[in-house]
Structure 1
Amino acid sequence: MPTALITGASSGIGEVFAQELAQRQYNLILVARSEAKLQELATKLQQAHGINAEIIVQDLSQPGAGTTVFEAVSQKGLTVDMLINNAGFGDYGAFSDRPLPKFMEMIQLNITTLVELTHLFLAPMRQRRQGSIINVASIAGFMPLPYMSVYAATKAFVLSFSEALWAENRTSGIRIQALCPGPTATQFFQAAEFPATMNESGVNMVTAAQVVQESLQGLETNKSNVVTGGLNTQIIVNLQRFFPREVLVNLIESQFKAK
């Protein structure tokens, strides 16, 4: 059986990736901070699908966390065929009003650990000339996002980084994808501390299952990026082609400012 490593596997998109890949007979390495949630998920998937599921309890917002995970995988003697860098978080509010330590943790998790894990696991994939990496970005990575400025910037990095690696590796048997979900029904908005009025704003959300299905379909054809959410999100990510950047970012600011 092939083996997939999934970060942020205890909930949301990461958990659904684990469920879907277990159904496809992947062994799993599940990484997150919550040991209880990881163990519950691992046990459930092993019993349901007859696969092996290892857990690694690790706070990926800490420096060197990616190396710690890689070493743990190596000590278990496991080969990672698919890496899904899903762990990440956002934060809502005016940049100057929000706590700096939270931004630094966000950059560490959303960018630094993702780069670290990608580098460590890509090298052996290249030696084998096979493997897949899905880096979870966001439609926020396509444009500046007032009141989520650092989050959008981290996802712009993930998008650019992943597409560049896709081009570098497209003839070497490695598939690399930037997954760019639109609004998705997870705990993201609560964790980012969006105002309740904006949580109830009627934004059309897709399910995490839809995101995962579109991602894996795109991986089959080696698409460099997959934007989920249908026509609405396709329009959003292409607005920059039709409007000056200042006009667009002012429009976004008016939409995202708390009422």
Structure 2
Amino acid sequence: MTTGNDQKTRTALVTGASAGIGRELALVFAEHGFDLVLVARRKERLEALAQEVQGKFGVKAHIMTIDLANPAAPRQIFDEMARRHIMVDALVNNAGFSVPGYFRDTHWEDQKGLIQVMVTAVAELCHLFGPGMAARRYGRIINVASLAGHLPGAAGGTLYAAAKAFVIKMSESLALENINNNVHVTALCPGFTYSEFHDVAGNREEMNKLPKIIWMTGDVVARQAFDAVMAGRPVIINGGINNFIALLARLLPQRLVHSLMARNQRNAKAKPRAA
């Protein structure tokens, strides 16, 4: 990517790049001239995406297959970038999943993995790559949160909403810390987005009952995220309906909000697809 007096090709590292919003974000960064580092567990999908962006946009695409549920993964990613002499200018923390079902009925190892992937790894990757960005006075970080982070947690999403709320607040704080470093940090808060996320979570049948007007496509969400981080917006909630929902959650009496959320049993009744 070259802008103004900057003649340097920049590199974006995207976690959870094999599908969904992560894949779309990788495509948008590539379209804007960024080389890519694609990180996920599914090697075949990463290889296919790498070939696609190289053919379409002429950028370099590196892949790294790793599971962020492994506590050692963030440091391994950082060390591998140093070994390959790849300077990361943009970081997209997108990897994530949900653990459906009542909290009391789930396996702790699954919940522990959610915290590792969606809280600890996000914070650690920002902590590892952020200082270099600040020192070079250029950095772009997108932390994929959710509209759920602005709402009370629904049944069956006990730690999901909590993790996303953490990501939002952390991103806001990092944005303020780096306000004079040309390092922009944005929490991306999509609502319902077409992807395979709900197939894996096991609530696709319930999700299909929702009105189509509330759904957005991944490419639109990704483009809005890219524009937001480039403009230095700490938080972006995608879509007018989602912004209205978040506003109501702040303004309505919390007793009423909790009563409304109590009706949402989609995740509690979901049956996750086998990995």
Q: What is the TM-score normalised by the length of structure 1?
A: 0.95
SS at match of 1:93: coil
CA RMSD in angstroms, aligned pairs only: 1.5
Find the partner of 2:223 among 213, 216, 226. Answer: 213
Find the partner of 2:185 among 165, 171, 176. Answer: 176
SS at match of 2:142: strand
1:171 Cα deviation (Å)?
1.4
Contact 1:189 1:199 in 2 (8 A): no
The one-letter code of the counterpart of 1:156 is A
Corresponding position of 1:118: 126
Corresponding position of 1:152: 161
Find the partner of 1:47 among 36, 46, 55. Answer: 55
Aligned-pair identity in percent equals 36
**Whole-angstrom distance in 2 between the partners of 1:174 and 1:237:** 26
Corresponding position of 1:185: 194
The one-letter code of the counterpart of 2:263 is S
Asked whether 1:3 is paired with 2:11, we answer yes
Contact 1:84 1:134 in 2 (8 A): yes
Corresponding position of 1:243: 252
Corresponding position of 2:233: 223
1:195 Cα deviation (Å)?
6.1
**Whole-angstrom distance in 1 between the partners of 2:227 and 2:207:** 31
Contact 2:174 2:185 in 1 (8 A): yes
Contact 1:64 1:113 in 2 (8 A): no
SS at match of 2:263: helix
Map Cα deviations across residues 10-33 of structure 1 (whole Å, 9 max, x no partner): 111111111121121110000000
Find the partner of 1:104 among 112, 122, 128. Answer: 112
Moved more, 8-17 or 90-99: 90-99
Structure 1 unpaired stretches of 5+: none
Structure 2 unpaired stretches of 5+: 1-8, 270-275
1:66 Cα deviation (Å)?
0.4
The one-letter code of the counterpart of 2:227 is Q
**Whole-angstrom distance in 1 between the partners of 2:73 and 2:259:** 37
